[in-house]
Structure 1
Amino acid sequence: MSIETARGALADDTVNELAAGLRGSVVRPGDDDYDRARAVWNAAHDRFPALIVRCAGTADVLRAVEFARDRDLLVAVRGGAHSIAGFSTCDDGIVIDLSPMRGALVDPERRRVVAQAGMTWRDLDHETQAFGLAVTGGLISSTGIAGFTLGGGVGWLLRLHGLASDCLTAAELVTADGRVVRANTREHPELFWALRGGGGNFGVVTSLEFELYPVGPQVLGGLIVFPLDQARQVLTGWREATGRMPDELTTVVNLTTAPPLPFLPPEVHGTRVVVVVGLYAGDPTAGEAAVAPLRALGTPIADVMGPMPYTAMQTMLDPLWSAGAHNYFTSAFVEPSDAAIDAVLRLHLTTPTPASELHLHQLGGAFARVPAEATAFSQREAGVLCNVVARSADATDFGAHVDWARETRREIARHGRGATYVNFTGDADEDRVRAAYPDTVRERLTRVKDAYDPANMFRLNQNIRPSAAA
C-alpha cells in the first residue's frame, strides 16, 4: 500500500518510519481524523494533502522538512490556518502543522516572551496579560501568531508600539537544508530583517521572541455604529480627527452590513452602516477624552465603547469571523482624500454579500516612525490601509465575489501608490507580491531567499522567488 502524490507514491513503511521518529503524529488519507486535520479556517480552500505532520516541537519540524526535501514534496506550513490565499494547506504534498506547539515563556522583568509558532493570539494574550503585558496582535484571536507577524501584523497597538513584526526581537526557524537557525540583530541579521515583513519564504519558524509592553488589563475600547446617511460626515470627520489622536488610540472604520447584534435596534439589522472601532491602550480614564471626537462624528445608532479587559477587545470580533466561510481579502495603502472617500462610499454600496466589507485601518504613530529600511515591511508613509473583504457562507457565486473584491481594490488603489499589504493578499500571483514590496526591498529579499532557500522549497506563501527560479 502507498499514498499517491503528484510526484509519485509514498510507501506506507516510509511514512511509518517518519511517524515512529516523531513526538507528534502523522495524519494520512483514510485516517478517522483526516478531514478534521486537513480543514482550514478559509473554506474557499478545500485541499487534500498526502500527509499532515502534527509537530510537537522543533525536532519534529526538522524530520518533516527532511522527509519533504528528500522526496521533493510540496510543503505547506500551518500555524493558525488563517491564510487567506490558502497557503496553510495543499493537494498531494505535506502539511507541516505547528498547531500543537503552543507553549510560551514570559519574562516579566525583561518584558520578553518566547512563543512557539503554533500559538494563536488568544493563547499568547492569555499568557502575557497575566503580567499586564502585551504585543501588537491580531484583530481576530484565532489568528496564528507566526504568519501574522512574518507578514507585518496590523493590530490595536500599532500606533503605540508598531506592527507585530516591529516588536519581534528574535526567531528560531528550520531552513530548507535542515539547519536550526536563530535570527536576531546579531545572528543572521539579514535573515532577521527579512522575517519582519517578508513572510514565510525562508524556512519554518518554530518560535518567536517579542518585546512586551505594559497594556491593560483594563483598556478603553469598543465600537460606535452610525447610519449610512451619515457615512460621508463620519469618514471626513474621522480623517480630520486622526491627525490629532494620541498614539495610544488606534481606530478602524468598517463599512459593513449590520449583523443582528443585541445592542442594535431590530430595524437596523441587515442595513448598511458605518462602524468606528477603536482601542485606547493607556489609562481608560484618560482615554475618554481621546475617544470623544469619535462620538461626535455623527449621531450614533449604538455606542458600546467603554472600559473593558484587553482580552475582551482582542476577542470582540471573533463571533463574526468564525471558521467555515469562504473568504477573499485584498488591500491597498491609500491617502484618505475626498476622492478616496467618494470611492469608498460608492463601493460600499456594491458589496456582494452582507458579510463583505471595507475596512479603513488608521496608521501613523509608532508604525510610521520605524525607518523604511529597518524591516522588510517598508510601506510606512501611507495614512490608511484599506482592506477589501469578500466573504460568504458557501461557494455560491464566490467567484463573482472575488471579482468584486479585485475590482474594488483596483479602484481604491488609484488613491495611493499602488502598494498592498502582504497579509491581506488573497492572491499568489507575482503582481501582488510586487505590489507588496518596493523594488529595492524585493531585490534584498531575493538575496536572502538565495541564501536560505535557493531551491524555493518554501513557496506556498507570497513568494519571493530565488534567483535560480527567476
Structure 2
Amino acid sequence: MATPARTAHESVRLDRPAVEELATGLRGELIGPDDPAYDEHRRVWNGSIDRHPALIARCTGVEDVVAAVGFARTHGLLVAVRGGGHSFPGYSACDAGMVIDLSPMKRIRVDPATRTARVGAGVLLGELDRETQAHGLAVPAGIVTHTGIAGLTLGGGIGWIMRKYGLTIDNLLSVEMVTADGESVTASETRNADLFWGVRGGGGNFGIVTEFEFRLHPVGPQVYAGPVFWAMEHAPEVLRFYRDWVAGCPDELMTIVVQRRAPALPVVPAEVVGRHVIAVVACCTGPLDEAERVLRPLKEFGRPVLDLCAPKPYLVHQSMFDPSFRHGWWYYFRACDVAELGDDLIDTMAEYGSRIVSPITSVALWQMGGAVARADENRTAFNGRTAGFTFNINGNSTTSDGFDAEREWARAYWSALAPHHSGVYVNFLMDEGEERVRQAYGAAKYDRLKALKRRYDPHNLFRLNQNISPE
C-alpha cells in the first residue's frame, strides 16, 4: 500500500505511522492517492461523481470494518461506505475522507432446505441471483444485476417479484453490523429489535451491515417476462389501457412502464432504434400457461412496434436493464410516489416523454401494491407501502456533454408531476436535503429514526447517506 504523507486534499493530513499501522492490521488493502489502483477503486457507477478520498479501506471481513471505523472515528474522517457503488447521489465516495469498501466481502451461503441465504455486504444482485437460482429460489431484490445488495436492501428494496413476496426488507431475517463505536452486533426480530426495525428502510444511518440473512422463495427458473413497445404518440391510450388492466391483475404480475428512445440493441430492429417509445415491461411468475393468459391483453393491445415479452430464464430477465445503466455514464434522478394514474398525470407523462433527447434518458414508473401494501406499515422504517406507483425519472448522458440539459428535463418533468406527489422512495433520492428525507419516512417514523440515531450514532459518523441527523 502506498501510504500518503499528504492526502488528496491539502486540508487533510494523516499521521504516516498511524496509516501504516492500519494498513498492517487489515487483511484487505488500504489504498491511498499514490497507489496505482487508486483511480480504479475510487470510481463509482455514476460517472458524474468524481471524488478523491484520502484512504480506501478494502475490507475482507468484520475485523477490517471494525478497524476502519475506529481509524475514521479517531482521526475525524468523513466516512463513505461502499457496497456496489450504486448510490445515485454518489454517497459511496467522498473527498478527503475514508471509503470503507465492502466489495471484497462476497460470501454467499444458500441453504435450500430452510430457504435462507447469508450474504456478504459486497455481493451484487446478479451474483446473489446466480447462487439462489441454482436451487430455483430468489430474494425479491432489484432490476439491475450490478446493483449492490447492501444499499438496495437498507433502503427497502423494490423489484420484479415484490408484489408476490414483498420488499427485500420484508424478507430480511437478520443482519450483522458494526456500529459507530466499533461494536459488532446482531439485529433481528428477537435481538436488538429496535435496530432491526431501523435498518429495514433507514439506510446506512446506524452502522455498517456486514452480512444479511434473507428468506428465499421459489421462482423460475422460467418466467413469462419482457417489454412490449408502442410509439410514444400512442402513450395516452396505452397508459389508460394499462391503468385499467393492472387494476385487476394478480400478485404474480409486476410491471414497469418505461419511456425512452428505443435502444440500439441486437433485439431491437434498426427501423425502431432511436424512436420515442413507451413500453410496459412485465414479469409474471407462476405457471407459464397462466402467465400467458394474464399477459395476453397487454400483448394484443393497439399496434405494438415490438413485442419481446415471452418465456425466458429469470436470470435473463433480471439482466435486461443492464445495458441501459452502464458504469461510468452520467446519471441524474428525480423521483416521487403517486397514488393513481389520473388523466392529468397521464397527459403529463405523454408530454414529457415526447421531449426525451438523450438515447439513454428514461422514465421508469413502477407498479406497487400486492404483498408490499399488505405488510404491516409499522413493522419497518420503510414508508411507501400505500403508494400506487413510484416514478424514477432519469436524465442521463454517456458523458458530460448534454448532461445539464438532461438534468433540467428531469427536474421539469418532476415539477410537472408535483400536484400528484404523495411521497418518495428513499433509494431514489439525490442529495436533496433534510426535508425530502423526512418526506420519505413521514413525520412519525422520522422522529423514531432520529431517536435511534441518537442511540447508535450520536456523533453522526455515518452521515454520508440520506442522513437522519441525531440533532
Q: Same fold (TM over 0.5)?
A: yes
C-alpha displacement of 1:170: 0.8
The CA distance in 2 between the partners of 1:3 and 1:97, in whole Å, is 21
Q: Distance in 2 between matches of 1:428 and 1:19?
A: 35
Per the TM alignment, residue 8 of structure 1 is displaced from its structure 2 partner at its CA by 3.5
Instruction: Give the corresponding residue for 1:432.
Output: 436
The answer to whether the 8 Å contact 1:428/1:463 transfers is no
Q: Which residue of 2 aligns with 1:409?
A: 414
Q: 1:395 to 1:431 in 2, by over 3 A?
A: farther
Deviates more, 1:89-98 or 1:265-274: 265-274
The separation in 1 between residues aligned to 2:353 and 2:362, in whole angstroms, is 7
Give the drift of 1:6: 6.6
1:79 is aligned to: 83
Q: Secondary structure at the match of 2:245?
A: helix
Q: CA–CA distance in 2 between the matches of 1:192 and 1:368? A: 20
Name 2:382's counterpart in structure 1: 377
- The alignment partner of 2:30 has SS state of strand
Structure 1 equivalent of residue 266 of structure 2: 262
Match 1:309 to one of 308, 313, 323: 313
Deviation, structure 1 residue 428: 4.0
Using the alignment, how far apart are the partners of 1:376 and 1:461 within structure 2?
15
- Spell out the pairing of 1:176-325 with structure 2 (5 A cutoff): 176-325=180-329
The match for 1:2 among 1, 5, 19 is 5
8 Å contact from structure 2 (residues 232, 354) kept in 1: no
**How much has 1:352 moved relative to structure 2?**
4.2
Amino acid at match of 2:366: H
What's 1:165 paired with? Answer: 169
**Other-structure match for 1:61:** 65
Q: Identify the range of structure 1 (294-303 vs 247-256) with the bigger mean alpha-carbon deviation.
A: 294-303
Displacement of 1:370 in angstroms is 1.1
Tell me the alpha carbon deviations over residues 99-133 of structure 1, each in whole angstroms, 9 at most, x when there is no partner. Answer: 00011111111111110010000110111111111
In structure 2, the residue matched to 1:13 is: 17
2-structure distance, mates of 1:173, 1:299: 52
Residue of structure 2 equivalent to 1:458 = 462
- Within 1, Cα distance between the matches of 2:353 and 2:237? 15
Which residue pairs with 1:345 in the alignment? 350
Q: Which runs of 5+ in 2 are unaligned?
A: none
**Aligned with 2:331: secondary structure?**
strand
Shift of 1:356: 1.3
- SS of 1:95's partner is strand
Contact 1:328 1:391 in 2 (8 A): yes
Structure 2 counterpart of 1:202, which letter? F
Query: Is residue 110 of structure 2 the alignment partner of residue 112 of structure 1?
Result: no
SS of alignment partner, residue 325 of structure 1: coil
**Preserved contact between residue 77 and residue 95 of structure 1 (Cα < 8 Å):** yes
User: Secondary structure of the equivalent of 2:401?
Assistant: coil
* Alignment match, 1:365: 370
- Counterpart of 1:17, as a letter, is E
Q: Is residue 88–residue 429 contact of structure 2 (8 Å, CA) maintained in 1?
A: yes
Note closer, same or farther for the CA distance 1:229–1:340 as it changes in structure 2 (3 Å cut).
same
1:13 Cα offset (Å)? 2.2
Taking only aligned residues, the RMSD between alpha carbons, in angstroms, comes to 1.3
Shift in Å, 1:303: 1.0
Is 2:52 the counterpart of 1:48? yes
- Residue 7 and residue 208 in structure 1: after superposition, are their counterparts in 2 closer, same or farther (change >3 A)? farther
Supply the distance in 1 between the matched residues of 2:161 and 2:36 (Cα, whole angstroms): 41
Given residue 341 of structure 1, which amino acid in structure 2 is its aligned partner? I
Separation of aligned partners in 1, 2:245 and 2:333: 27
- What secondary structure, in the 3-state scheme, does the structure 2 residue paired with 1:414 have? helix
Contact 1:219–1:307 at 8 Å: present in 2 too?
Answer: yes
Tell me how far apart the structure 2 counterparts of residues 427 and 407 of structure 1 sit (CA, whole Å): 17
Pair 1:331-2:335 in alignment: yes
SS of 2:66's equivalent in the other structure is: helix
What's 2:137 paired with?
Answer: 133
CA distance in 2 between partners of 1:291 and 1:23 (Å): 51
- Aligned equivalents of 2:267, 2:88: Cα separation in 1: 30
Matched-pair identity in %: 45
Please say if residues 159 and 365 of structure 1, whose CA atoms lie closer than 8 Å, have aligned partners that are also in contact: yes
For the Cα contact (< 8 Å) 1:84–1:327, is it kept in 2? yes
Change beyond 3 A, Cα 1:7–1:445? farther
CA distance in 2, matches of 1:275, 1:348: 11
The SS at the match of 2:396 is: strand
Q: Is the 8 A contact 2:12 2:96 kept in 1?
A: no
Question: Does 344-353 or 383-392 show the bigger shift?
Answer: 344-353
Cα deviation, 1:301-345, whole Å, max 9, x if unaligned, reads: 111111111111111111221101010112111121111111111
Partner SS state of residue 420, structure 2:
coil
Q: Structure 1 length as normaliser, TM-score?
A: 0.97
Work out the CA distance in 1 between the residues paired with 2:375 and 2:465.
25
Q: Unaligned regions of 5+ residues in structure 1, if any?
A: none
Q: Deviations over 1:154-184 (max 9, x none)?
A: 1001100111111111111100001111111
Letter in 2 for 1:324: G
TM-score in terms of structure 2 length: 0.96
Question: Displacement of 1:218 after TM fit?
Answer: 1.2
2: CA distance between counterparts of 1:18 and 1:159? 45
Amino acid at match of 2:374: R
| Structure 1 segments (4+ residues) deviating >6 Å | none
Instruction: Report how far residue 7 of structure 1 moved.
Output: 5.9
SS in 2 for 1:327: coil
Mapped contact 1:225–1:273 kept (Cα < 8 A): yes
The count of aligned residue pairs is 466
